[in-house]
Amino acid sequence: MIEAAMFTHNLTFSTVMRFKTVPPYDFEVTVQKPAGWHLATPYEIFEKGTLWTALRIHSGKVFGLKLSSLGTIDSADISCKLYSNEKLEANEKRELHETLKWMLDLEEDITRFYALAKHDTLVRILVRDLYGMRITKNADLFSRLILALTLQMAPIKRSDQMMSLLIKEFGERIRFDGKEVLYWPSPARIAKAQVGELEEKCKLGYRAKSLKGIAESLIKDFPSPQELEMMVPEEAKAKLMELKGIGEYSADIVSPHPGFALDVWSAKIFSLLLYGVKPESPRDEISKLKKIAEKRWGRWRGYVFTYVLNDLNNLSTRFNLNLTEV
DNA sequence: GCGTCCAGGTCTACC
DNA sequence: GGTAGACCTGGACGC
């Protein structure tokens, strides 16, 4: 049951943007990842090659997005019809155009990543299985922080439960183009909520205090994801780790710099892939595996990480391992 | 049914 | 500086 009082945006103004991409670019597998990861919200809608989703930018403004690809993997032509609650000024359109290019990873030349396939068997398999898939980014920092916080110390079903309750209890309903997309709560809304309310309604447990603390920090003064990307990776990570409840793993997930955000679950997967055995203490393997990844894949380790976690079924068959139930 | 264990980390107190 | 223990909740498991 969706909260009746959920704030509703009815977005009626629209503008169309078109984007060329650096090939290869597979739109469908990029926005609808095989592992089920969403682009911007778990409640976005994907039908017949078109994605209806939403976005909150750093200023707090909310937009509806209707995205599709009119081209091919080797010559993608992305169309975005962008919905807003008022007519956009030229400078806002320019800013949103840049944000979308950044979010959708339209300008990265991944042929340099694919070049690793020449000498790396794992990369060769990943490229064959997921040719043209991109790592997308999110302009809404708070939604990434919610994801990181709810992934901590919880099985995935419980994380999903917490995220879903947060959206339904404190999120927003965004209507445009005859569709309705439920979207993440704003930092301002969570900053106003009581800790007890977050614990009780969203079953956040000890994470409730951290989430409220993060929301309060974000509404005061905190860099945007694009500003974090302009910092050196260590500085961006340190800035994120100033937030309550955000440690090294969560900062790796949230940082726009490509990282290797290993947790206990993914450490088991990479141990199986690289050594063929499940470690007795996966938490102790994390720092070792991170060093190996940096040495073997360098700046493309984030791509390897995302490709592996979206290719577990194929990799399980290829290497005769059970990677889907570690 | 009921009790116990523990999970896709982080923080803090203590040494 | 390093490390054990606490932390919400709910599903899995053994009895």
Quote the pLDDT of residue A4: 55
CB atoms near residue A272 (< 10 Å): 19
Burial of A186 (0-12, 13-18, 19+ CB in 10 A): buried
Q: How many whole angstroms separate alpha carbon A212 and alpha carbon A29?
A: 34
Quote the pLDDT of residue A21: 96
**pTM attached to this predicted model:** 0.96
Q: Is the pLDDT of residue A258 over 50?
A: yes
A104-124 residue pLDDT tens: 999 999 999 999 999 999 999
A239-253 residue pLDDT tens: 999 999 999 999 999
> Residues by CB within 7 Å of nucleic chain C, which ones?
A 153-155, 157-158, 161, 199-200, 203-207, 209
A200-211 residue pLDDT tens: 999 999 999 999
Quote the pLDDT of residue A3: 47
Strand A77-84: give its sheet, edge to edge: A13-20, A77-84, A62-69, A50-56, A45-47
CA closest to C6 C1', residue: A206
Q: Is the pLDDT of residue A57 over 70?
A: yes
CA-to-C1' span, A143 to C1 (A) = 34
CA-to-C1' span, A98 to C4 (A) = 48
CA-to-C1' span, A164 to B4 (A) = 28
Mean pLDDT (whole number) for A11-20: 97
| Residue A52 and residue A11 in contact, taking contact as beta carbons nearer than 8 Å | no
Nucleotide whose C1' lies closest to the alpha carbon of residue A204: C8
| Residue A178 and residue A219 in contact, taking contact as beta carbons nearer than 8 Å | no
Please give the share of chain A, as a percent, with pLDDT higher than 70.
99
A237-268: burial string, b at 16+ Cβ within 10 Å, e else: bebbeebebbeebbbbbbbbbbbbbbbeebbb
Strand A7-10 to A172-176 pairing = parallel
